[in-house]
Amino acid sequence: MSQAKSQSIADLRIDYSQASLSEADSAADPFTQFGKWFDEAIHAQVPEANAMSLATVGSNGRPSSRIVLIKQFDEHGFTWFTNFDSRKGHELAQHPYAALLFHWIALERQVRIEGRVERVSESDSDAYFHSRPLRSRLGAIASAQSQAIASREMLEAEYAKAEQKFGDNPPRPKHWGGYRLLPDTVEFWQGRQSRLHDRILYTLDATGSWQRQRLQP
């Protein structure tokens, strides 16, 4: 039984054939290229196109990853919001470098982004916090993200306490806000036939200019 199951997993494969990416049609900088692909992912209705894997590294050198939602991107970087006291928050405080990964499966595309991470300004965190639905704001207050709690009931009691205390105008907790990753490498991967995929890697050079090269698949 388990033999048959593992054989069928080994047989799972798709030959990618939807699109291509060349040196000539990739943008001069990765932000423009990311914006083009992000728009195409939204247009293609890729589910949660704004969901990305965020990998961080702990002080023991062990990587950890989880999904977060990108909330902003421009030439200054890629921004998400979270709890600064979470596991990822502690890891970023110890080692402020991270890797982001998007997989837009319906378009046979992957984007890898790496670089240094910093917190966004207090005013940017305030602005985004206050744009969120009330229940999300109360949830951010109620949850000491990544810490153990004895039961679901205790978590819901924390939420009710926050609701009681702050009503419909909860303040942003100091431990909640945004991080921005300032990329120094960005790779765009487009699946192609026969596993001869296109990979265009952007690297930031010492003068602050983006260099492009093709990588073998």
Ligand X SMILES: Cc1cc2nc3c(=O)[nH]c(=O)nc-3n(C[C@H](O)[C@H](O)[C@H](O)COP(=O)(O)O)c2cc1C
Provide the annotated active-site residues: 195
Among 36, 66, 95, 119, binds ligand X (CB under 6 A): 66
Q: Which is nearer to ligand X, 21 or 70 (CB)?
A: 70
Closest CA to 183 of 104, 110, 100: 100
Region 130-149 residues binding ligand X, contact defined as CB under 6 A: 145-146
* Structural element, H or E, at residue 161: helix 152-166
Q: Beta 198-204 vs 77-83: how paired, if at all?
A: unpaired
User: Least separation, in Å, of the C-beta of 113 and ligand X?
Assistant: 16
Among 44, 67, 157, 160, binds ligand X (CB under 6 A): 67
Do the beta carbons of residue 32 and residue 183 sit within 8 Å?
no
Burial label for 125, CB within 10 Å (0-12, 13-18, 19+), is buried
For the CA atoms of 196, 64, 54, 113, what is the dihedral angle to 10 degrees? -50
Among 27, 55, 57, 68, binds ligand X (CB under 6 A): 68
Query: How far is the C-alpha of 192 from the C-alpha of 198, rounded, in Å?
Result: 7
Which x/- pattern, by CB under 6 A, does the window 88-107 give for ligand X?
x-------------------
- For the chain, the distance separating the N- and C-terminal CA atoms, rounded to the nearest angstrom, is 34
Q: Which is nearer to ligand X, 36 or 71 (CB)?
A: 71
And the tokens for 16? 């990618």
Which region among 19-27, 61-69, 115-123, 185-193 touches ligand X (by CB under 6 A)? Answer: 61-69
Q: Which is nearer to ligand X, 92 or 200 (CB)?
A: 92
Q: Contact between 86 and ligand X (CB under 6 A)?
A: yes
Give contact residues for ligand X (rule: CB under 6 A).
48, 51, 64, 66-69, 80-83, 86-88, 145-146
